[in-house]
Amino acid sequence: MEPWFAALERPTEAVPSAANRLRQLAHLVAMSQTLSAELEGTGVKVQVVCPGVVATEFHERQGLDMSVVPRMSADDVVTASLRGEP
């Protein structure tokens, strides 16, 4: 069976639900940018975290082989987020 990300290498083929996921991600980024601008000067900071594929049991439970996919650990995502790293 082909890995889920193989279709990304063939942009002419549709990836199921990709457009919906990207729409949701764009909305979250735009909403956090707008909220951050509205809260400027209040001491409140707004941040959205979009780490990509994170090394958790999520894919393993689905039986997906993610060994060739670069992933961050959940701890590394939290550490980078708290540091404000891109």
Dihedral through CA 25, CA 72, CA 68, CA 2, nearest 10?
A: -30
pLDDT, tens digit, 9 for 90 and up, residues 58-81: 888 888 888 888 899 999 999 998
pLDDT band of 3, cuts 50, 70, 90: low
Distances (CA, A) of 14 to 4, 5, 9: 12, 12, 11
Mean pLDDT for the stretch of residues 38-64: 89
Does the pLDDT value for residue 82 go beyond 70?
yes
